[in-house]
Amino acid sequence: MVLLLQYTIIFASVLCLVALGGCFSEHSGVINLGLEGIMVMGALGGAVTMFMLPAGTSKIVIVIATTLAAILLGMLFSCLLAVACINFKADQTLIGTAMNLLATAAATVFVRAMNTSINPDNVSTSIQYIQPKKAFLKYIGGFEFNWFMLMAVVLLIASYILLYKTRFGLRLMACGENPQAADSVGINVYKMRWAGVLISGFLGGLGGIVYITAGVSEWKFEMGVAGFGFLALAVMIFGQWKPTNIALAALLFGLFRALSNVYTGIPFLAAMNIPSTVYNMLPYIISLIVLAFTSKNSRAPKAEGIPYDKGMR
């Protein structure tokens, strides 16, 4: 049971972070389908940093450097979305899809080139980080506490405050609801949308490194992040674009995800003999059903997905 709790919380942290990222981007009016790609890039940044840091680096340095690298790479990669969709008014669905493919391909190429340059016979696409990963963990009884869990909670509260209690957040949401009106009162819609996308890069990148350090100590970059970015998108929709609801949705979907990992260890669930694919499917099925019942009067930002053109005012 402790294992189930631990997995639920760490997966929920990932989903919560990434979904909040999506939430900021969409509230500013840009649909971010590239979350999966941003996660891959964040994961790459973090994993490479952990790999490169010399043995014996103090724990606190490892934690800070890894986190910062993941965030930085996530934000850099999200610039691709911002440039194309905000400045060049490209199709947001197309660019998001391209980013997902690009991130996985680029990460694979980079990791393989790195491995080969260190050892010419090493053609794998994985990075190992068994030792440095321990810097993130603290054992409380049988429970494996991860510093990322704390970061997720702090960032959740910060996101709530930023979105609802600050001038910046309210302006950001105005740009997603009615950019023309926002512009008419002097808000720079382009800047606000850039801010929204960059924040989603920040949170998505962080989510990426949390995901690949959850439970495993080695990551094969060919796999990308195995659809977690899309699951986060489902969390965001299930949470109706509100941080508090997103946190609850993340807990629920995190539980399903954890169940698919550990259900064989729980006698009552193992006895039911439900294949793990069912637990994997459930989050998506639930979101689809929720969408079917809520989309008529959806809480989605009104102007999301529509490039803002000053001339159209």
Partner 1 sequence: MKEKKSLLKNPSFQAILTSLICIVLGLLIGYIVLLMINPAGAGDAIKTIILNFLTRSSSAARAKALGNTLAKTAPLLMCALSICFCYKVGLFNIGAPGQYEAGACIGLYAAIAWHTPWFISLILAALAGAVVGSISGALKAYRNVNEVISGIMLNWIILYLTNTILGGKKTKDIASPYTMKLGAGNTKIPSAGLNTLFANNTTVTIAIPLAILFAILIWVILSKTKFGYELRATGFNKEAAKYAGMKEKQNIIVTLAIGGALAGIGAAFLFLTGYQEWSTTQNSVPAMGFNGIAATFLGGLHPIGTIFASFFIQSITDGGALINKSVYPSQISDLISSIIIYLCGFVLFFKFAINNWISKKDKGGPNVNDVPVKDDAAKAEGGEK
Residues that bind partner 1 (CB under 8 A): 31, 33, 41, 73, 76-77, 79-80, 83-85, 87-91, 93-95, 97-102, 104-106, 108-110, 112-113, 116, 120, 123, 125, 222-224, 226-227, 230-231, 233-234, 237, 275, 277-278, 280-281, 284-285, 287-288, 291-293, 295-296, 298, 310-311
- Considering the complex, state which of residue 216 and residue 285 has its C-beta at the smaller distance from partner 1: 285
CB of 287 to partner 1, least distance (A): 6
- Considering the complex, state which of residue 177 and residue 222 has its C-beta at the smaller distance from partner 1: 222
CB of 67 to partner 1, least distance (A): 17
CB of 133 to partner 1, least distance (A): 22
CB of 91 to partner 1, least distance (A): 6
CB of 284 to partner 1, least distance (A): 4
- Considering the complex, state which of residue 87 and residue 244 has its C-beta at the smaller distance from partner 1: 87
- Considering the complex, state which of residue 150 and residue 309 has its C-beta at the smaller distance from partner 1: 309
DSSP string over the chain: -HHHHHHHHHHHHHHHHHHHHHHHHHHHT---TTHHHHHHHHHHHHHHHHHHSPTT--HHHHHHHHHHHHHHHHHHHHHHHHIIIIIS---HHHHHHHHHHHHHHHHHHHHHHHHHHH-TT----EEE-HHHHGGGEEEETTEEEEHHHHHHHHHHHHHHHHHHHSHHHHHHHHHHH-HHHHHHTT--HHHHHHHHHHHHHHHHHHHHHHHHHSS-SEEEGGGTTTTHHHHHHHHHHHTTT-HHHHHHHHHHHHHHHHHHHHGGGSHHHHHHT--HHHHHHHHHHHHHHHHHHHGGG--S-TTTTSPP-GGG-
- Considering the complex, state which of residue 268 and residue 293 has its C-beta at the smaller distance from partner 1: 293
